[in-house]
Copies of this chain bind each other. A is one copy, B any other.
């Protein structure tokens, strides 16, 4: 009997940003956050977990075909230990269960998008790990309960355990037991929510979010004010989502992205994630909204220069048109939904972008996707591990 499970988990992109921990060990945030889960048909992490009595002692894990050391007190190790503990509780309750909790694990995880794309792969990766182990161990916990574990692997990973629109409640307890993710609305509530990711070239690797956010907590004079503002935004954007009020959703999303980057800049030394291309994308979207007479698109930026532009499906042609016009990509765009770009609105002021737009490749590639569902379980045939419990595909040395 082979005990294995394969799961996929989605990427999520926050509209209300997580920036700052009140507990760095348990990963408890200084504020609640809210994200849109993106479609796994386009972007996903896949993880296979297998437990076997016959494996050599000790857990082993491969990320994108490259073995990683699992430190017991590291973030991956903590997640595995917690899920194993939950399994052992089940085994104690029901002695007929195989003692999977005592067996060595073999885990392989793979992202279908290059790490170089600068998309947060740790969120989908940790969520896929938790989802596959929860499945392997047949755990009875709800996704919100599982999110407590994923959170400790990588904060925003907790939000990737749900589809649709997801809140991570900051919680008040010091043990973190109420700092969990929950669904605000499912994918099916607002399926027309689309997203265009602009992958922006950057010459220099920026400050890691882990170290950056703690520097902000320690030195920013404006962060406390941001923390007072966020609860109102959480309320307002949740209402906007429930009412499918795109203009309100977009307005809050843009404001909160700018507020997050403001407190980064207010850090000592300052942290910059937006570069001149990012700023130009902002100018184009602001002008697209202005010249359209209403807000039809919202930009948001995580800890890097890539833009994610949210827009309803009906307005995607305009978004693609505006982006293509000023940021010609090096790759020929192939839209997965077969949507064609549309000309700029009349009255669009071309002068918002530097003369002639940007050189080819300033935006490397566009990824057009949409709101998606939560983790999925795959069949045995899709396992990333071979019969011996080794990855089917190893990274090239």
Contacts and interface: CB of A to CB of B under 8 A. Distances in A.
Interface stretch (A111-119, A241-249, A274-282): A274-282
A286 B268 CA distance: 9
A274 B254 CA distance: 19
Interface string A175-205: 0000000000000000000000000000110
Interface in A216-268: 221-222, 224-226, 229, 251, 254-255, 258-259, 261-263, 265-268
A361 interface: no
A77 interface: no
A262 B254 contact: no
Contacts of A221: 225-226, 229, 255, 259
Given A225-B225, A259-B222, A354-B203, A272 B268 contact: no
B269 A282 contact: yes
Contacts of A255: 221, 268
Nearest to A259: B266
A204 B354 contact: yes
A266 B254 CA distance: 10
A262 to B, nearest CB: 4
A266 B203 CA distance: 26
A355 interface: yes
Contacts of A267: 258
Nearest to A268: B255
Nearest to A255: B268
A321 interface: no
Given A225-B222, A226-B222, A265 B268 contact: no
B268 A254 contact: yes
A200 to B, nearest CB: 12
A173 to B, nearest CB: 28
Nearest to A219: B255
A270 interface: yes
A233 B60 CA distance: 53
Contact of A262 (B203, B222, B275, B276): B222
Contact of A258 (B224, B254, B266, B274): B266
12 contacts: A203-B354, A222-B226, A224-B225, A225-B225, A258-B267, A258-B268, A261-B265, A262-B262, A269-B282, A269-B286, A272-B279, A275-B279
Interface of A: 203-204, 221-222, 224-226, 229, 251, 254-255, 258-259, 261-263, 265-270, 272, 274-276, 279, 282-283, 286, 354-355
